[in-house]
Structure formats: structure tokens, C-alpha cells
Structure 1
Amino acid sequence: MNDRGDAQAAVTILEDRDLVAVLERFEFGDPGPDKPSIAPPTRTPSVRPEQRAALDAVLAHLERDHSFHKDAVAGVVLLGRDHNRLAVYTQWRTPDSGPPVEVPAPWSVADVLLRAEPTTRVLETRTYTVEFTLGHRQPRHARRLGGPLVHFGMFSFPPAEQDVLLGLARQHAPGSLVTPGLTSVNFHRSLDRTRALNLGVWESFDNFMKLLDQPGFTDEQVYWEGVAQFHPDYFDVAHAWGPAS
């Protein structure tokens, strides 16, 4: 693995209603009195010491706890390009008891990170299901020298707005795929009904700003206006696995 990620990693998103996705996001170190806004995704990132310690702890956990790597049918470990972050996205078979709204302890790496890195702050630990995926390739993954890239588009709203937001996303997401470098969009609904997530897989962020020229994505008119709060984040893939791993 190079300093930013795994050159052989491939992000796999399985569009299967019998699977539950888990997203856990973490931040490390001292955020300071004022958090900066997220920098453009094309900037040159670097791995900070706390981020490296957290990544090493997660990868060691995956190596040590074979049941986690085996039972999570697909997953990806992501290094944030801003704010000293790390995220873990996994997909699991739905238990006989039904899809869990809370993340089951065996599906979580939060305790691993809280033990390994004292400055760990848990930003999110939440369950989702895949709503729809669109992309240029099957399966939904990218391979690139230096590793694929991931963009999170995170939406928050009152529970009554979840179906509204996802309906708007279905209308506008296909137009985003004209953006050079974007391989797939993968929309999720949270089981607590307060979030939606687009996990976008990219080969390169070089032309990311062209996305903002597409209808529904311009500064003058975004499709989620009045429905949801939106927050982006950008990542390099550090480790990934799927059914063929």
C-alpha cells in the first residue's frame, strides 16, 4: 500500500435489498476553534499521524478478526482528504431478526479506533440500505493506479423528507454521469430515515468541478434545495474487498 491507498483496491457496491450497509465516519486530532470548510477535492492530500495510527488499527483488526472480513460481504476503508478523517463502509447480510436500525457491535470498528487513537471522535455510525446505483461499469467499481477515489454526498432531513429527496435524486443523478472521471453513483437510505448518502466512485477528481455545471447541481439551483442539508467529503481508498476478494 502506498501512502494514500491501495493501488489494487476496487470499490464494490452490491445493489441487493437483502443487505444492510454500515457507514462509520471518524475524525482525529484537535479540530481547533474553527473547523475549515472542506477543501477542493483536487488538492494534494497527506496522511497525518493520527490518521495513520487509526488506519493501521483498522487494517490490523481486519487481519486479526477474520469473521469481520468474511461476514461483511463487501467493504472499503477510506482515508479522508480533509479534516484528518477515516471512514469504513461495509455491507452485511440482513439478520433473521430484520434490518437493524442501530449498528450491531460486531459490525462496528468504533471501539477499535477509540482504543487505538485517543483523539478519535465518532462523526457517524449508521445503517443504510442501497436505494439505487447508476454507473458506466459492471460491477460498480473502479481501478486506477494509486487507487480509486470516493466522494460522499451526505443529506440530512426530517424523516418525512427521505422519500422526497431520494425521488429527486433519481431524477437528477443520471445527468451527473457525464462528468469526466465519475464511474458510478450509489444512493442509500438510512434505516433511521434521517439521512441519504451518495457514495460516488471516481477514477479522478481532476474534472470534479464540471459536475457543478449540470442541471440540479449548479450554485443557482441544487435539486435538494428546501428539502435537505447537504455536506460533501472526499476520500482515497486504502483497502477494499468484495465477493471476489
Structure 2
Amino acid sequence: MPTIAKNNEVVTVIFSFAVEPERQQELIEMMIDALETTTKHQSGFVSASFHKSLDGVRVFNYAQWRTLGEYEAFAQSPQDQAIGARLSQFQLLDSRIYEVVISKPDDATLKITKGDLIHFAEFRVKPENQQRLIELERENVVIALEHPNLLCANFHRSVDGARTANYGQWRSLDNFEALLKEPTYESVREYWKGLAENEFHLYKVVYTEPLE
């Protein structure tokens, strides 16, 4: 099954879509079909994990490739262009290449499985501020992990310098609002202010390849 860890020797590609709630499942099914018929058979493909937001308005794919060259070769191929044409009826919000820079707890290796509950936060940042933002993320993730239902957090940086992203796995989202309200987590809610713009949604993993 797919795994996320700081020492993973893979190229991570994350792309996200905005979608109307009534078409969220349609988009997911189209992505699954493209994966099964085309993408997973390409040289260098490692994994894909599809996520749907609980509010119905987002879908994202956390994909892994063996090398940057193999991913770029597929991204420029007629096969991927055909997939892009099929999905163009949906709004592509972002598509970037990332590397994992923070995995907490230190011994954590996140295995992505169907049904996982995820808090995925994206930070839009100027390249000259990306490293400072990562430093603040490293400081504040320790506080966030005091929440009893947050199992692990994995921060990524985009190689173009314009994003960081936190992929957090939760045991339960019942008490997620505590991070947004309780004084204990005040610094966690504000550390990026003045450096980045933040948007997050809560997700469920609905499909992974490979399964094991």
C-alpha cells in the first residue's frame, strides 16, 4: 500500500480539483478509470491515492512516481493529455511536485489505506518565505500532535517554492474543532500568518493503488 515518510525515495505529485458536491463521485470514478486503464501501467508509476472532501467540494490525488524523469515523460505523453481532456470539465485547482520534509512523530510511516481520515492543508507562499514557513511548521507540529486523535503529520514542500502542504492522519475527526478553538492550540492556528495563505479541508481516502 502507499506510504508517506521523509525517507521515501519517490517523487510526490499532488493535484486537486474543485467540484460541485453532486458531481464529486462522478469525478472520482473518472479518475479511477483513467488510473486502471492507463496511468498504473506506465513506467515509473508507484502509487495513487484518491481523496474526497467531507464537504463534497474537493477531490485530490496523492501520487508517487519512481523518478522525476518518468513522471515528466508520462505527463507529456498523449495518454496523459487524453486523461487531461476528459477531466477538463472539472476545475483543476493545483498540480505540483513535492518532497516530504517533516514527518512526525519521528518514527511515523503513514500507510495510506481506504477509509483513512485526513486533514489536508495547503499553504500558498512566496519562494523566499518557504523555508521560514517550514521551520515554523516543524516547531508547531509538536503542539498539534498533543491532540489525542491526530496520529501523524507529514509536511511537504513544493519544488517550485510556492507551496507547503500538511497531510495529517486522524483516528477520528469528532474533536477536530478543538484545534480551531482551544487555547492550547492557539499558535498552531496562527503560525503562518504574514507568510502564507492557508486553505484546508477534511477528507476520506476512497481509493488506492496498490491496495497492499
TM-score when scaled to structure 2? 0.83
1:200-219 equivalences in 2 (<5 Å) = 200-212=168-180, 213=182, 214-218=185-189
Q: Is the 8 A contact 2:3 2:111 kept in 1?
A: yes
1:57 aligns to what SS in structure 2? Answer: helix
CA shift, 1:238, in A, is: 0.4
Q: 2:83 corresponds to which residue? A: 112
Aligned partner (choices 141, 148, 157) of residue 173 of structure 1: 141
Q: 1:90 corresponds to which residue? A: 63
CA shift, 1:104, in A, is: 3.1
Structure 1's consecutive aligned runs of 4 or more residues displaced over 6 angstroms after TM superposition are none
CA shift, 1:28, in A, is: 2.5
Aligned partner (choices 25, 33, 46) of residue 60 of structure 1: 33
Q: Is the 8 A contact 1:142 1:183 kept in 2?
A: no
Instruction: List gaps (5 residues or longer) in structure 1.
Output: 1-9, 30-47
What is the identity, as a one-letter code, of the residue corresponding to 1:121? Answer: Q
Work out the number of aligned pairs and report it.
Answer: 207
Aligned partner (choices 99, 116, 126) of residue 129 of structure 1: 99
RMSD (Å) for aligned C-alpha atoms: 3.0
1:165 aligns to what SS in structure 2? Answer: helix
Q: Is the 8 A contact 1:175 1:215 kept in 2?
A: no
Aligned partner (choices 3, 23, 34) of residue 12 of structure 1: 3
Greater shift in the superposed pair: 132-141 or 16-25: 132-141
Instruction: List gaps (5 residues or longer) in structure 2.
Output: none
Q: Which has the larger strand fraction? A: 2
The CA deviation string for residues 50-72 of structure 1, in whole angstroms up to 9 with x for no partner, is 2111111111122212325x733
Q: Which has the larger helix fraction? A: 2
Q: Are residue 77 (structure 1) and residue 68 (structure 2) matched? A: no
Q: Are residue 182 (structure 1) and residue 150 (structure 2) matched? A: yes
Q: Identity across aligned pairs (percent)?
A: 27
Inter-partner Cα distance in structure 2 for 1:169 and 1:112: 35
